[in-house]
Structure 1
């Protein structure tokens, strides 16, 4: 559990920050500039909000050196106020951490290996040959299936399920209701029916991964589904079988990634985006919200698809015009444009080759 009160002097030491103000000022929490009170520490990371420095009631502000002149109150000067704020949130985090114990209602196979420092909550199920490393927290109703391994310092929230032979790295945090290692959507069509393909791979998750609530990450059909180190995944994300996600990629809510897609490192995938299967996205790609990716991306950059919203009557007109355009053969349009271009060039050529007409003069 985090501290309830820290002084500005203590915070300056924690951040290696330059303090301008009274080091004994007590700080009891963090808040935005707009809503901060005298016992709060706020931060300015975006110049768009400089005007809020004039009205904030914060006891102190995390700020860049170049912005100090904009504010007359107490400040902690740091190179990156937002990153400093993120670090301090852990000092004030009041989320209770369970003690190291095994709840009497937990069901644990005799062949499972559990570190004494782990916390096993009510009605947890741990099957044969599972390994639970040091300082792991499994909250109530978590299920860890046969042969899986949970790395040191990982925290699985209520009703998380990890299916058989999956592997989680160290310090992985998974929120409530997420399922790791369910069968991928693998079926073979034959004579009008669908025949299930046994999913023989695993899910392998790296260190320091964060996965939101009610996500599904399917096991591989043959090869493993892999999530790299430091990946962050929002709520309600579907990752299909054999997908590979590179280190430190961020995925927003409601994203769907189809099977065998390969996502690079340090990518950002906007909310409600869809990525088709069997394609590759290189490192450092940013997909804006609701992007639909149907081809591989080989160059870093920002990509978008679809049309933005409009007033309904205007949107209907755009749809009608798009349909009308679709009815005109593209080759016909190209020929018409080429014909017009030739005519324009001919007119321009005549204009430049003919001398100016002489003016008629009266005798």
Structure 2
């Protein structure tokens, strides 16, 4: 059955936000769109200058823009300093993610001595182990497994088929997407007389408040101490964190990143996709790692870093070296020419 779309005025959408309205404040909005798509009764935003060419001709009923671009807007405008942030707040009005009602599905399995708030929602075929604590408004999706002695804080949500091993502690307002496994054993093995022996992984996993973890990630439990993801960190899909890794506050990690065991990444870092970190490293706060970088040594100074010739270098060094590599063939020919000239000069002197 098709749901009737809700409509909001620009006044409704911007209430409490640091934004002003240029045009009709009572313009009705029923959804969001891209600026190039430009749908009537929808609101778009302009952040990337590559899309500025669409601003003057867009058919969107309103656009979220900065004051610098407002004079080029031919439709209603929401003027602010940070259009992308304001867009996140407005887009939340139109989020149609299904709401999970409180209750426990009849097919769910609940262990002994659990503490489950009455407002919790537990989906079909979920399994909750013994001595688990689920705080108010927690959502456990279908097919999830929450193992023994784990705790989940208020307003946190596990999408379908998330697995938490034993002794995983999750804070408030945490979102974990489908297929992610938290608390599996880290890769700890010791070789004795030619045979590998498993090292018991005795630590746990702590995920602090406001963390988001994408789909199909693997967060290993600590070997001795805990693996920790600090408050506000954001992880994309397909990320592997080894045992005893610590991710700092408000660090964002793009997809397909691997962080080897006992590496610490500081706060407010940005990690590009397909990057890899060796083990036992320390990355300071406010570091940017560009996509595809091999991080093989600790980083003590904030800045932008990339893989380069000879290992990890600053992004500026990498760009300079890349430019030189493009001239390598030309430089080789120049060296050959100089060698011939030197040889001819030497022959003249000897004769």
TM interval, shorter chain, is 0.7 to 0.9
Corresponding residue of 1:32: 34
Corresponding residue of 2:180: 178
- Answering whether residue 184 of structure 2 is matched by residue 166 of structure 1, we say no
Give the drift of 1:110. Answer: 2.4
Alignment of 1:180-219 (within 5 A): 180-219=182-221
Uncovered stretches (5+) of structure 1, i.e. residues with no partner:
308-317, 326-363
In structure 1, C-alpha distance between the alignment counterparts of 2:133 and 2:9, rounded to whole Å: 42
* Per-residue CA distance 1:94-148 (angstroms, 9 max, x = gap): 0011100100111001211100000000011111110000000001010000000
Corresponding residue of 1:151: 153
Give the drift of 1:14. Answer: 4.5
**TM-score under structure 1 normalisation?**
0.83
Corresponding residue of 1:352: none
Corresponding residue of 2:106: 104
In structure 2, C-alpha distance between the alignment counterparts of 1:47 and 1:234, rounded to whole Å: 25
Aligned partner of residue 89 in structure 1, secondary structure: helix
In structure 1, C-alpha distance between the alignment counterparts of 2:21 and 2:281, rounded to whole Å: 50
- Answering whether residue 275 of structure 2 is matched by residue 273 of structure 1, we say yes
Higher strand proportion? 2
Give the drift of 1:39. Answer: 1.0
In structure 2, C-alpha distance between the alignment counterparts of 1:3 and 1:193, rounded to whole Å: 63
Give the drift of 1:16. Answer: 4.4
Aligned partner of residue 302 in structure 1, secondary structure: strand
**What is the count of residue pairs matched by the alignment?**
314
Give the drift of 1:8. Answer: 1.6
In structure 1, C-alpha distance between the alignment counterparts of 2:38 and 2:190, rounded to whole Å: 58
Uncovered stretches (5+) of structure 2, i.e. residues with no partner:
310-324, 333-351
Aligned partner of residue 261 in structure 2, secondary structure: coil
In structure 2, C-alpha distance between the alignment counterparts of 1:36 and 1:213, rounded to whole Å: 31
**TM-score under structure 2 normalisation?**
0.86
In structure 2, C-alpha distance between the alignment counterparts of 1:243 and 1:199, rounded to whole Å: 13
Corresponding residue of 2:137: 135
Larger C-alpha radius of gyration, 1 or 2?
A: 1
In structure 1, C-alpha distance between the alignment counterparts of 2:212 and 2:42, rounded to whole Å: 28
In structure 2, C-alpha distance between the alignment counterparts of 1:173 and 1:9, rounded to whole Å: 30
In structure 2, C-alpha distance between the alignment counterparts of 1:206 and 1:2, rounded to whole Å: 37
Alignment of 1:37-76 (within 5 A): 37-76=39-78
In structure 2, C-alpha distance between the alignment counterparts of 1:288 and 1:50, rounded to whole Å: 26
Q: Is the 8 A contact 1:30 1:36 kept in 2?
A: no
CA RMSD of aligned residues (A): 2.2
With 198-207 and 68-77 compared, the bigger mean Cα shift is at 68-77
Corresponding residue of 1:118: 120
Q: Is the 8 A contact 2:103 2:122 kept in 1?
A: yes
